[in-house]
Structure 1
């Protein structure tokens, strides 16, 4: 799976000749540029809109991984708040009496 789309490759030399303004203009028009050195990708130039899409996709994938991990490890057993408080020697009343600064 590739995360870039409408990709155009260009060498570092070609990118330098094109200049920053040219690379930015291409990215603004939707081109994902891959800069290569010795035919190996070393950098990418993408628009801010595309970067935002990639950031959102990364966040969505993290959420999905968390949901899948929880689903795979969920035993179905639940612990009540009162049981947790008791295990720590507390009660709901003792929590209510504590200052917020503690």
Structure 2
């Protein structure tokens, strides 16, 4: 899977001639535009729907990396909630006695 769908390349000069309105129209129509300077990509113009897809994919990949890291490092050892409370000088009863923040 590539990030951009068959992007159309334009030089900075061509993009300037096309104008912001033209670039936005392309993006709204689903075309990904890559702007180049000296034949090197320097910017991309994508529609908001495509940007949302990219952001969602990035979020999914971050979640996947976390799951894989946890699976690779999981020793199987678990700590009970009561042990955690005890380590911080609390019990379930002491937590219940704390005033509610409003």
TM-score by length of 1: 0.91
2:70 — aligned with what? 70
2:32 — aligned with what? 32
Counterpart Cα distance in 2 of 1:85 and 1:28? 53
Counterpart Cα distance in 2 of 1:57 and 1:84? 35
1:54 — aligned with what? 54
Counterpart Cα distance in 1 of 2:42 and 2:33? 11
The count of corresponding residues between Structure 1 and Structure 2 is 101
Question: Tell me, which stretches of 5 or more residues in structure 2 are unaligned?
Answer: none
Q: For structure 1, which segment, 87-96 or 13-22, has the greater mean C-alpha deviation from structure 2 after superposition?
A: 87-96
1:79 — aligned with what? 79
Question: Tell me, which stretches of 5 or more residues in structure 1 are unaligned?
Answer: none
Corresponding residue SS for 1:4: coil
TM-score by length of 2: 0.91
2:43 — aligned with what? 43
User: How big is the alpha-carbon RMSD for the aligned residues of Structure 1 and Structure 2?
Assistant: 1.3
